Structure 1
């Protein structure tokens, strides 16, 4: 029943955004009693927090064994394309219980995978401040992913695969520095 409610919520979010989520509507969609969602998630914030935690777990898995930072970025963009409802909720802290253990654990794991990819760069490729290099890499991947899933790049990309476009973009922006 929990999975059915989560699935219904993800469908609503993908079609109408997180603001459209209502526990009573989800119960109807999932074919369960109107009290079932509250039993599993307590309230709307609990449901959205569970979706975000699941999303960060899926993202951590997607980033597992990425060969390098560019591949991690491609996987980040692919994750957003394959899980747009999770992606929308994961990065909306005002919708979530920030102290939820499942959420903080999954978020920490996904963040660690991204930081590992940044740390693996040679020092000349990331500069002295690994933290800022990580912010730059995340900003690029997150911004590109957001533009892709909101269809703002449909025209500019045309038929080009977004994964290939992101890989090419990172190659243009992050070339090895000349000695």
Structure 2
């Protein structure tokens, strides 16, 4: 098993996409990248903690290649906008990849190079050594599956899921 820590705007979006991929064994929403101890949703949303909303994605490379996990990341958020994704604005919504070791740092850099071919503007995704991970509150775990009728889910997450289906259907769970 391998685990990546990725941030691409609101964690509900990445959580929803990754939970639907074959070979992904766990997704946990949380906060990382800042210096504020024991943050919660409200302090992170204030933009004062330095933390990003992120997901820890654990997957089986025998089922889904690491490159696919990373390519899905770049296909389902805009890595060219600094500190924002759509209406979500602030450093807590930055595009970031938090590496656990030198191998992951290399994998992340290679993924950015691959993804840049798909984007006209420069990718601004931050690549940083992973820091303390703080799991998000239970209400944020698997948010989309529990509240698919929520307006945010309908307007923001559904188009990301549609994009994942369009380009990565062979990797979707049945």
With normalisation by structure 1, the TM-score equals 0.25
Task: Specify which structure has the bigger relative contact order, considering alpha-carbon pairs within 8 angstroms and separated by 6 or more residues.
Answer: 2
Q: Which one has the largest radius of gyration? A: 1
Richer in strand (by share): 2
